[in-house]
Amino acid sequence: MSGSKIPYVKHNNGTQIQSIGLGTYTSLGGDCEKATLHAIDVGYRHIDTAYFYENEGEVGAAVNQKIKEGVIKREDIHITTKLWSHFHEPERVEYACRKTLQNFGLDYVDLYLMHWPYSYVYRGDNEMMPTDAKGEVEMSDVDYLDTWRAMEKLVELGLTKSIGVSNFNSEQLTRLLANCKIKPIHNQIECHPALNQKNLIALCKKNDIVVTAYCPLGRPNPAEKTPNYIYDAKVQAIGDKYKKSTAQVVLRYLIEIGTIPLPKSSNPKRIEENFKVFDFKLDAEDHAILDSYNTGERLIRMVHAIKNKNYPFSIEF
């Protein structure tokens, strides 16, 4: 399926985005550049990365190569990246964004997210997890509203088309919406059948905020046959019914419950497979089976931040 046939989702500010994206976390050493090049050739027009991933340069190199080749124009592709937690002080935000643009070799990004609602002490650009003498991560107490106000200025400066958040819970999102000039267009959250996030998705939908889903396949481990929703016979039977893999079934489920999944892969065949999820639909019985895996169990818990006032996972959603 070509990129032109993939549905797009409209944002609250009028911009739009392809309803699946390429995730790039842990993709390094040239793998990310190769994956991005292949993804663009396949038809992906939505790439997700972050300063913390340390691969913005690889994504930028691939995008610039494909622009040079005439495969895409800059305006054809949506690039999301994220402000890391050691740059939350308002006076550091513009600097961080400009540094990111330098990494990409681009004039602007399409979407700049606040990666987490909590913040770290700044010890240098590359000290992304600053630790004290005891080896504990040094947290700070910057209010994410102050960080957000600095991010709003980035839109005015033309450094990013849009801004959004990641890992914000319902209370944090509600507080942000009550105190912002520019509404977030996205909340990027961990979402998969074991953590289907339906309550948070409903809140985001009510406020015209798009949900993007990271870890959509739950980091499959073939040796251990985990997570169960990738390896269970019941999900395999759903896949057989539609001539699809269990991964494609799960991605389709996440699209149908109202998210944009961001499957990460550097395997060319998997990159192609993950894109082919728009030519079938799940029925109510399929949804009931996939809903049954929802235990609320998180893969990404960030326990080092649990005592911080802005830690997002201390409430139900």
Residue 227, preceding peptide bond in cis (omega within 30° of 0): yes
pLDDT in tens, 254-273: 999 999 999 999 999 999 99
Give the integer Cα–Cα distance in Å for 290 and 234: 9
User: Would you place residue 29 in the very low, low, confident or very high pLDDT band (cuts 50, 70, 90)?
Assistant: confident
208 and 183 in contact (C-beta within 8 Å)?
yes
Is a pLDDT exceeding 80 seen at residue 183?
yes
pLDDT mean over 211-229:
97
Would you state the structure tokens that stand for residue 137, as one six-digit string? 């991560």
Whether 78 has a binding-site annotation, put simply, is no
The one catalytic residue in 53, 112, 118, 120 is 53
How many other C-beta atoms can be found within 10 angstroms of the C-beta atom of residue 113?
27
Would you state the structure tokens that stand for residue 121, as one six-digit string? 């002490």
pLDDT in tens, 269-312: 999 999 999 999 999 999 999 999 999 999 999 999 999 999 99
Strands of the chain, DSSP E: 8-10, 16-18, 22-23, 46-48, 78-83, 109-114, 119-120, 139-140, 160-166, 186-190, 210-214, 259-261
pLDDT score at 4: 63
10 Å CB burial of residue 294 (0-12, 13-18, 19+) is middle
209 and 173 in contact (C-beta within 8 Å)?
yes
Whose structure tokens read 């911080």? 308
CB < 8 Å & 24+ apart, contacts of 64-70: 64/105, 64/106, 65/37, 66/37, 66/40, 66/41
Is a pLDDT exceeding 70 seen at residue 2?
no
pLDDT in tens, 37-87: 999 999 999 999 999 999 999 999 999 999 999 999 999 999 999 999 999
pTM above 0.85, yes or no: yes
How many other C-beta atoms can be found within 10 angstroms of the C-beta atom of residue 61?
19
Q: Where are the domains of the chain?
A: 15-305
pLDDT score at 5: 85
Write down the mean pLDDT value for the chain.
97
98 and 92 in contact (C-beta within 8 Å)?
no
Task: Using alpha carbons, select from 12, 9, 10 the residue that is nearest to residue 180.
Answer: 12
- 15-305 belongs to CATH 3.80.30.20: no
Amino acid present at 47: I
Asked about 53 being catalytic, the answer comes back as yes
99 and 93 in contact (C-beta within 8 Å)?
no
pLDDT in tens, 106-143: 999 999 999 999 999 999 999 999 999 999 999 999 99
pLDDT mean over 153-173:
98
Amino acid present at 31: D
User: Would you place residue 28 in the very low, low, confident or very high pLDDT band (cuts 50, 70, 90)?
Assistant: confident
Find the angle CA(83)-CA(3)-CA(102) to the nearest 5 degrees.
30
pLDDT score at 250: 98
Residues in a beta bridge with 46: 78
